[in-house]
């Protein structure tokens, strides 16, 4: 991972850039105010020690009033910049935005690309792909507790509150891979509820979308077939969905294209066979308290499952 992929002051999209600009303006004004007050304090201490000041109380009150007026001016400047930024942020809304629906769960993100035609919808988990240069509207729901959707490189955060529908608008402008993270304490594994955000050129994005619309490919080798059997008949199918198979559970991330994702367990692990094996064997070791129990697969079954899952690109 490159650094600053989750940074407020390294924006990769227009909304985050507007806020980053606001930050620097506010920082500048506030730093100046701090320096002015610090200097005044130090000078005051020096003068006070030497009993040098002959100022009357009336003059002192006048100085206080002047400083008060200066403070109000600084505050108005800060407020104005904030209002201007707020208005600019709102200007992103357009009728032909890409629409995504994200549902928060303890401790993973369900991601659905909306489309009026049901067969064109895409369901994935913990990873979001975005076309650069296009406004995106994300509908936010929660299945359990309050979470908060936050991709600092692109936009401020907003909470996912059960019983409410919230909406966030953002736009990626710089291609790259960024990281988002849940930002409202949501229980034991709040710390490990991250997501990968891939901002890519529109063509690449369309290709990704199309690939993700497909059902899981049929297994080719016997090992893959065996793995599919274990998944369908074992505990996996109770919680996970792999479209095109008998696995149709809805309380865990959709695995139909798991092999195409770059991370596991909501950004906790890289997606490689070793980590995947460790995760499947004992998820509680990596993310204690999360809702996936140890699967109890023996070595052969595990190997078969891994082989099968590798085909789910």
Partner 1 sequence: MTAHREAHPRLTENDPRLDADALERERRLLERTWAGGRGVIAWLSEVDHKAIGRRFIATAFAFFALAGVLAALMRIQLARPENHFLSPDAYNQIFTMHGTTMMFLFAVPVVLAMGIYLVPLMIGARAMAFPRMLAYGYWMFLFGGIFLYVMFALNIGPDNGWFSYPPLAGPAYSYGKRGDVWAQLITFTEVSGLVVATCLVCTIFKLRTPGMSLNRMPLFVWAMLITSFMVIFAMPSIVISSTCLILDRLVATHFFNQAEGGDPLLWQHLFWFFGHPEVYIIFLPALGMMSEIISTAARRKVVGYMEMILSMTATAFIGFGVWVHHMFATGLPQFGVSFFTASSIMIVIPTAIQIFNWIATIWTARRLQITVPFLYSASFFFVFIVGGLTGVMLASVPLDRQVHDTYFVVAHFHYVLIGGSTFPLLGAIYFWFPKITGRMMGDRLGRISFWLLFAGFNLTFFPMHLLGLDGMPRRVYTYPGAMGWQGLNLLASAGAFVIFVSLLVYLVNVAVSLRTGAVAGDNPWGAATLEWATSSPPPPYNFTPQPTVASREPLWHSELRPPAIVGLRPDDREVLVTYLLDAEPDHRYSMPGPSLWPFLAAIATSVMFVWSIFQAQGVVWGAIPVFITLVGWFWPTKGKARLERGVTGRLTARESVS
Among the listed residues 109, 141, 135, 114, the one whose alpha carbon sits nearest the alpha carbon of residue 124: 109
User: Which residues are CB-neighbours of 24 under 8 A, at least 6 positions away?
Assistant: 9
Q: How far is the CB of 129 from partner 1 (least distance, A)?
A: 20
Q: Which of 112, 166, 260, 281 binds partner 1 (CB under 8 A)?
A: 166
- For residue 53, the number of C-alpha atoms closer than 13 Å in the C-beta half-sphere is 12
Smaller CB distance to partner 1: residue 31 or 214? Answer: 31
- 24 interacts with partner 1 by CB under 8 A: no
Among the listed residues 250, 254, 230, the one whose alpha carbon sits nearest the alpha carbon of residue 306: 230
DSSP letter (8 states) at residue 174: S
Q: How far is the CB of 4 from partner 1 (least distance, A)?
A: 7
Q: How far is the CB of 71 from partner 1 (least distance, A)?
A: 4
Collapsed DSSP state (helix, strand, coil) of residue 271: coil
- 177 interacts with partner 1 by CB under 8 A: no
What is the Cα–Cα distance from 242 to 258, expressed in whole angstroms? 9
Among the listed residues 113, 104, 101, the one whose alpha carbon sits nearest the alpha carbon of residue 161: 104
Using CB under 8 A, which of the segments 126-134, 183-191, 209-217, 273-281 binds partner 1? Answer: 183-191
Q: How far is the CB of 279 from partner 1 (least distance, A)?
A: 15
Among the listed residues 195, 209, 210, 194, the one whose alpha carbon sits nearest the alpha carbon of residue 131: 209
Rg of the chain (C-alpha set): 26
- 18 interacts with partner 1 by CB under 8 A: yes
- 57 interacts with partner 1 by CB under 8 A: yes
Q: Which of 12, 16, 264, 309 binds partner 1 (CB under 8 A)?
A: 16
Using CB under 8 A, which of the segments 7-15, 96-104, 118-126, 244-252 binds partner 1? Answer: 7-15
Give the distance, in angstroms, between the CA of residue 163 and the centroid of all CA atoms in the same chain. 21
Q: How far is the CB of 198 from partner 1 (least distance, A)?
A: 17
Contact set for partner 1, span 256-295 (CB under 8 A): 268, 288-289
Q: How far is the CB of 7 from partner 1 (least distance, A)?
A: 5
How many CB atoms are closer than 10 A to CB 240?
A: 22
Q: How far is the CB of 217 from partner 1 (least distance, A)?
A: 32
- For residue 261, the number of C-alpha atoms closer than 13 Å in the C-beta half-sphere is 29
Contact set for partner 1, span 72-111 (CB under 8 A): 72, 75, 78-79, 81-83, 85-86, 89, 106
**Number of residues assigned to the chain:** 313
Q: How far is the CB of 292 from partner 1 (least distance, A)?
A: 15
Using CB under 8 A, which of the segments 24-32, 118-126, 210-218, 252-260 binds partner 1? Answer: 24-32
- 184 interacts with partner 1 by CB under 8 A: yes
Structure tokens at 163: 């019983």
Using CB under 8 A, which of the segments 122-130, 155-163, 208-216, 295-303 binds partner 1? Answer: 155-163
- Which residues, in sequence order, are bridge partners of residue 263? 270
- 63 interacts with partner 1 by CB under 8 A: yes
Q: Which of 103, 123, 124, 148 binds partner 1 (CB under 8 A)?
A: 148
Q: What are phi and psi of 104, to 5 degrees?
A: -85, 140
């Amino acid at each position: 991972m490159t650094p600053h992929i989750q940074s407020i002051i390294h924006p990769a999209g227009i909304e985050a850039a507007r806020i980053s600009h606001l930050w620097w303006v506010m920082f500048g004004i506030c730093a100046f105010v701090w320096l002015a007050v610090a200097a005044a304090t130090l000078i005051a201490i020096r003068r006070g020690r030497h009993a040098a000041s002959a100022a009357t109380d009336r003059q002192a009150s006048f100085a206080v009033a002047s400083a008060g007026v200066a403070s109000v001016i600084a505050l108005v400047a800060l407020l104005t910049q904030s209002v201007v930024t707020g208005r600019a942020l709102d200007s992103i809304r357009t009728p032909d935005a890409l629409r995504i629906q994200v549902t928060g769960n303890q401790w993973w993100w369900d991601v659905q690309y909306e489309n009026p035609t049901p067969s064109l919808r895409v369901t994935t988990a913990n990873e979001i792909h975005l076309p650069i240069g296009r406004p995106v509207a994300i509908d936010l729901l929660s299945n359990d507790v309050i979470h908060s959707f936050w991709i600092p490189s692109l936009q401020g955060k907003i909470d996912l509150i059960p019983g409410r529908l919230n909406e966030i608008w953002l736009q990626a402008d710089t291609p790259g891979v960024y990281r988002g993270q849940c930002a409202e304490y949501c229980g034991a594994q709040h710390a490990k509820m991250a997501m990968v955000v891939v901002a890519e050129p529109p063509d690449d994005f369309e290709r990704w979308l199309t690939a993700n619309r497909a059902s899981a490919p049929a297994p080719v080798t016997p090992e893959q077939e065996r793995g599919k059997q274990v998944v369908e008949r074992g505990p996996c199918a109770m919680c996970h969905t792999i479209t095109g198979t008998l696995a149709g559970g809805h309380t865990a991330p959709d695995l139909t294209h798991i092999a195409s994702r770059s991370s596991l367990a909501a950004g906790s692990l890289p997606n490689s066979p070793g980590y995947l094996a460790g995760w499947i064997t004992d998820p509680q070791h990596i993310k204690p308290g999360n809702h996936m129990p140890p699967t109890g697969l023996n070595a052969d079954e595990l190997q078969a499952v891994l082989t099968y899952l590798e085909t789910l690109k």
